[in-house]
């Protein structure tokens, strides 16, 4: 189910456990005096093969930080079980790739660089004059026919009447903007949006997001899955839940993901630096997409890192958007159904659309279509370090 689009608070400090290790981990927790609420039906997911343990408390009823619990469990495993460790992790915050994202719940720094200036221009959408809206159809009317594309993002805009108080939060238009770019390249493709990211904050947690990815892929029999969001870890490794979802998707679904907009960060900001991996983009075999401008140069905010697969336009992109008054970081601006926006979210969407437009079910797979596009180096070109 989509999250409440009105600013829900996501519980990120929850323990994630492989179902095969659940009984062992619960025994270990009891041994060290830690309790959790009873598992509900949505706390176990057979597709992921994972369980979520919530409201972790000590014997006195005090709340515990999940990082402390992870450390205790690993220490106990090393002492009691010959160094063997259960497969465990934490439920993490996932952000829409807009600007540099939003502050993680455990940090006090927001989506603003240490200097006090946002490290990228175009982090928020801008209204577009009617004369600037592209009128040329970039793909043939049959491009992408029979191809099924999934988009895990904010709920599809416009929202139902009464969902938001006016003005509408600007992140509410993210899924529509992304979808319109896919349609531009693959007019006949079927696009299915799973609205898991909160339309006000752009956030979800990794548990809800991973389940949405697998649910959408299974129910819609997807060929391609577009993920214009990112998760960051200070440990440098992929978050357990997101990595498991990518693993369970297998090679049947081509996953295209935004590389993030954090490349220009010089210091630790919002839980990341300019060298941080953005997950799931950095998980093989995901197609990680960075941005280029009209001249073919990469903007400094697009990560210049070896796990980036390819580059596509992502600066001052024009796409479909909200109508009416929109709250853009505290400023009310009027939009007429289109916007100009920058970010690797939109680079990823253009790659997804281009691949869908070249895919011919039963003849040309999404993987083959991607290889063709990379070989041609037109809309999509291979990433070359330092480009």
pTM confidence score? 0.88
Q: Cα–Cα distance between 289 and 302 in angstroms, integer?
A: 9
Q: How far is CA 380 from CA 282, 289, 296, 351, in A?
A: 18, 9, 11, 6
Q: Cα–Cα distance between 233 and 211 in angstroms, integer?
A: 20
Locate 51 and state its tokens: 């369980």
CA-derived radius of gyration, the chain: 21
* Contacting residues for 125 by C-beta, under 8 A, at least 6 apart: 170, 173, 177, 321, 326, 328, 335, 339, 340, 341
Q: Cα–Cα distance between 186 and 319 in angstroms, integer?
A: 14
Residue-wise pLDDT tens for the chain (387 aa)? 333 333 334 465 799 999 999 999 999 999 999 999 999 999 999 999 999 999 999 888 888 889 889 999 999 999 988 888 999 999 998 887 776 543 332 222 222 222 333 444 457 999 998 888 876 556 788 999 999 999 999 998 654 445 666 789 999 999 999 999 999 999 999 999 999 999 988 889 999 999 999 999 999 999 999 998 988 888 778 999 999 999 999 889 999 999 999 888 888 877 788 888 899 999 999 999 999 998 889 999 999 999 999 999 999 999 999 999 999 988 999 999 999 999 999 999 999 999 999 999 999 999 999 999 999 987 788 877 654
- Domain 93-382: CATH superfamily is Peptidase S8/S53 domain (3.40.50.200)
CA of residue 42 relative to chain centroid, distance: 21
The residue ranges of every structural domain in the chain are 15-90, 93-382
Contact at 8 Å (CB) between 90 and 77? Answer: no
């Amino acid at each position: 189910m989509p999250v409440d689009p009105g600013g829900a608070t996501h519980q990120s400090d929850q323990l994630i456990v492989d179902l095969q290790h659940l009984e062992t981990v619960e025994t270990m927790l009891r041994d060290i005096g830690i309790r959790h609420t009873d598992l509900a039906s949505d706390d176990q997911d057979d597709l992921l093969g994972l369980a979520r343990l919530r409201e972790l408390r000590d014997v006195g009823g005090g709340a515990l930080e999940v990082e402390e619990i992870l450390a205790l469990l690993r220490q106990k495993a090393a002492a009691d079980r010959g160094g063997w460790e259960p497969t465990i992790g934490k439920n993490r915050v996932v952000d829409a790739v807009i600007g540099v994202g939003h502050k993680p719940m455990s940090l006090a720094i927001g989506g603003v660089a240490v200097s006090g200036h946002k490290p990228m221009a175009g982090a928020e959408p801008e209204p577009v004059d009617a004369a600037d809206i592209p009128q040329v159809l970039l793909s043939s009317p049959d491009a992408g026919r029979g191809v099924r594309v999934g988009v895990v993002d904010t709920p599809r805009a416009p929202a139902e009447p009464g969902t938001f108080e006016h003005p509408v939060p600007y992140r509410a238009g993210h899924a529509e903007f992304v979808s319109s770019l896919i349609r531009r390249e693959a007019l006949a493709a079927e696009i299915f949006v799973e609205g898991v990211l909160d339309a006000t904050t752009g956030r979800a947690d990794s548990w809800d997001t991973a389940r949405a990815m697998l649910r959408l892929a299974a129910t819609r029999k997807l060929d391609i899955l577009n993920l214009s969001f990112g998760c960051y870890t200070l440990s440098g490794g992929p978050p357990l839940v997101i990595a498991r979802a990518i693993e369970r998707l297998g090679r049947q679904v081509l996953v295209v993901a935004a590389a993030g907009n954090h490349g220009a960060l010089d210091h630790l900001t919002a839980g990341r630096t300019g060298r941080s991996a953005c997950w799931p983009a950095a998980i093989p075999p995901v197609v990680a997409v960075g941005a280029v401008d009209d001249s073919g140069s990469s903007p400094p905010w697009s990560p210049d890192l070896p796990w980036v697969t390819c580059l596509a336009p992502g600066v001052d992109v024009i796409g479909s958007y909200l109508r009416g008054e929109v709250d853009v970081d505290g400023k009310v601006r009027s939009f007429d159904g289109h916007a100009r926006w920058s970010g690797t979210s939109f680079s990823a969407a253009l790659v997804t659309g281009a691949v869908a437009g070249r895919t011919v079910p039963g003849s040309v797979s999404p993987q083959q279509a991607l290889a063709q596009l990379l070989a041609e180096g037109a809309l999509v070109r291979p990433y070359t370090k330092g480009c």
